[in-house]
Structure 1
Amino acid sequence: MAASSLEPSPRRWSWARLIVSSSARNYSPLLSLALIAPLMLLLAFSFLYPVGRLLASSLFNPEVGIDRYVRLLSEPLYLRVLWRTFEIGFIVMLASFVLGYPVALAMAKLKGRWATIVAACVLIPLWTSVLVRSYAWIVLLQRNGVINTALQEVGLTAGPLQLIYTEGAVIMAMTQVLLPFMILPIYAALRTIPEDLGRAARNLGAGTLTVFLRITLPLSLPGVSAGALMTFILSLGFYVTPALVGGPRTLMMATLIGQQATVLLDWPFAGALSAVLLAATLLLVTMFRKALALNKGVSGV
C-alpha cells in the first residue's frame, strides 16, 4: 500500500505534461538560443577552436603542406600504429560487451540490496582515477607482481611471465576502465523492456534461451549500440593506460600524437595524425550506424 501511494497518478502525469508543454511554448526560439549560447561558446573555445587550429596547421603550412600526409601514409610504422589502435579498440568493445551484458542483465533483474551492491560495483570504478587503475594493473602484472608471484608459488610457472607491456595487458586494463560505459546504456535499455513480454512468451512455450534471443536481446540492441560506440570511440583516444601498461611495444595513436606534440614539438605532423584518426573514426562509426540501422530494433539509433 505504501509503495503504491508513491506512484504518480494519471492526474499528476497530466499536470506534469501540461506544465512541460506550456513552458516549452512560452520560450521563443531567440530565448532558447540565448539560453544555450554560454554552453555553445564554451564548447567552441575549449574544443572546436583548438582542434580546428591543430588540424589547420597540418594542411595550411606553406613549408611542408600535404607532404605530412604523404609521409604518414607511406611509412609502415604509422599505418601499423593506426591499425593496432583500431584493432585494440574493436577487441575492447567486444570484451566489454561480453563481460558487461550479463552484469547489466543482473542489474535489471535484481531488486533490493543485491541490486544496490551490483550498481555500486559498476559505479565506484568511475569515481577512481584512470591513472590509479593503470598503476594497479602494473602492480598485478609486473614480473614480481601479484599474478606472477602466485603462479610461481603454486608451481604453474618456473619463472616470471611477460604479462606487462603486452597487447593483452592493454586490452585487459582498457576493458576494465571502459566496462561501465557499456553496462550503463545496456542497463537503461533493459529497464524499458516490459516484464509481461517474457511471461507471455513462457506461457506460449518458449524457453529461457528463446526468450533471451527473440525478445530481450533484440529490444536491448539500442543500448548495446550506444555502449559499443562509446567504448570504441573512447578506446581510440586512450593515452594514459596504453602508455603505462603497454609501453613502446604497443604504441597507439593517442600516445604517438602526444609524442609528436610534446616531445618532438612537431605540431603540424601531430595535427596530420589527428586528422587521419578522426577521419577513419568517423568513417567506421558511420558504417557501424548504417549496419545497425538495418535492424528494426535500432532503426532509431
Structure 2
Amino acid sequence: MSPSRAGTSTEEAGNRRSGLILTLPALAVLIAVMALPLAIVVLRSFADPALGFGNYLWFFSADINLIVLGRTFKIAFWVTLCCIVIAYPYAFAMSVAGRRLRLLLILCVLVPFWVSGVVRTLAWVILLQDSGVINRTLLALGFEKIRLIRTQLGVMIGMTQILLPFMIMPLYSVMRGIDRRLLQAAGSLGAMPLKAFFQIYLPLSLPGVFAGSIIVFILALGFYITPLLLGGPQSTMLSTLIQQQALSLLNWGRSGAMGVILLIATLGFLAVTGPFMRRKYDMSGSGK
C-alpha cells in the first residue's frame, strides 16, 4: 500500500471514530428515554405480581381484551384509509398550486398541527355533541340528528382530523418531485387524463401513500385522549384499557403485558405488510 493510500485510510478511520464519539451522547439519551423504559415495562409484564406468563395468559383468556385489540386495529385501519382519501387530493392541490396558494394550503395544515391535541379533541366534543354545531345545522336544513359523540364514528372523525398532517406532508413531498410533463406526454400519445393519472401519476406517488399510511396507522394504534373524550364503551381502544390497569387499578404487570402485546402486534403487522408494499411499489415503478 502506498503512503498516500495508508494516510487516507488512517484519516478515514479517524473520522469514523470521531463520528462515533459525537453520536455517543445522542445514543445515551435514546437508551435512557426509550430503551430503558421499554425494558422495564417488558420485565414488569413478566415479574409483576409474580414471575411467569400470568399477565399474558390473563390477557388472552379474557374475550373483552381480544375484542378491544381487534377494535383498535380496525379503527386505526379506517382512520388511515380516511386520511388517504382526504389527504391525497389536498396534497395534489398543494403540489400544483401557485406559490401564494401553496403557502396558504400549507398553513391550513400546519396551524392546527401546532395546536394541542387535547384542545382539538375538546373542540370536536363541542362540534359532535347532540346539541352541537353539526346537529343544529342538520336540524336547520330539515334533517334528523345523527349520534356522533360516544361512537366509533366520532372517534374516527377526531382522529382523522388530528392525523391528517402526518399523511399530507409525506404525500406532498413525493408529489412535488413528480414531473407533470409525464402526464402531458401521455396525453400527447393519446392517453385519456384519467388513464394517465392511474398509470403514471398514481404509481409514482405510492411511496408517499405508503410512508404516510405507516405513520398514521402506528400513531392511531396508540391514541388515548381522543378515544377517551369522543368515544364510549363500544369504541374503547387498547390504550384506554392500559391506562385503567396502570393508573386506576395500579396493576403495572397487566398494563405492561398489554403494551408489549400491542407493540408485538404492530411490529408483526409491519413485517407482513412491509414486503407487500415494497413489492407493489417495485411493480408500479417498473411499469408492470
CA RMSD of aligned residues (A): 1.8
Which string of whole-angstrom CA distances, capped at 9 and with x for unpartnered residues, describes residues 262-295 of structure 1?
1111001001001110110000011111111212
CA shift digits 1:41-98 (9 cap, x unpaired): 1111111111110111112347252011111011111001100000000000100000
| Residue from 261, 266, 273 that aligns with 1:288 | 273
1:87-134 per-position Cα deviation (integer Å, ceiling 9, x unaligned) = 000000100000100001111111122111111111111111100110
For the 8 Å contact 2:83–2:163, the answer to whether it is kept is yes
- What residue in structure 1 maps to residue 196 of structure 2? 211
Q: Which amino acid aligns with 1:120?
A: L
| 1:36-47 → structure 2 map (5 Å cutoff) | 36-47=23-34
Counterpart of 1:206, as a letter, is: A
- Residue in 1 aligned with 2:47? 60
The secondary structure found in structure 2 opposite 1:294 is helix
The whole-number CA distance in structure 2 between the counterparts of 1:64 and 1:247 is: 34
CA deviation vs aligned residue, 1:221-250 (integer Å, no higher than 9, x gap) = 111100000000000000110011113331
Aligned-partner residue type, residue 224 of structure 1 = V
Q: Does 1:125 align with 2:120?
A: no
Distance 2:13 2:36 in 1: 34
Unaligned runs of 5+ in 2: 1-10
Distance 1:290 1:62, change over 3 A: same
Q: Check whether the contact 2:49–2:253 (CA below 8 A) recurs between aligned residues.
A: no
Letter of the 1:154 counterpart: L
| Shift in Å, 1:298 | 7.9
Q: Which amino acid aligns with 1:71?
A: W
Percent identity, please: 41
Paired with 2:219 and 2:67, the residues of 1 have a C-alpha distance of: 20
Greater displacement, 92-101 / 140-149: 140-149
User: Partner of 2:68 in structure 1?
Assistant: 81
TM-score under structure 1 normalisation? Answer: 0.87
Number of residues paired by the alignment?
274
Preserved CA contact (<8 Å) 1:141 1:164: yes
- Which of 200, 213, 221 is 1:236 aligned to? 221
- Structure 1: give runs of 5+ residues left out of the alignment: 1-23
Letter in 2 for 1:127: W
Q: Please say if residues 94 and 106 of structure 2, whose CA atoms lie closer than 8 Å, have aligned partners that are also in contact.
A: yes
Would you identify which runs of 4 or more consecutive aligned residues in structure 1 move more than 6 Å?
Answer: none
Asked if 2 retains the 8 angstrom alpha-carbon contact of 1:219 and 1:297, the reply is no
Asked whether the 8 Å contact 1:221–1:297 carries over to 2, the reply is no
Equivalent-residue separation in structure 2 for 1:297 and 1:103 (angstroms)? 26
Summarize the alignment of residues 1-301 of structure 1 with structure 2, pairs less than 5 Å apart: 28-61=15-48, 63=50, 65-157=52-144, 160-295=145-280, 296=282
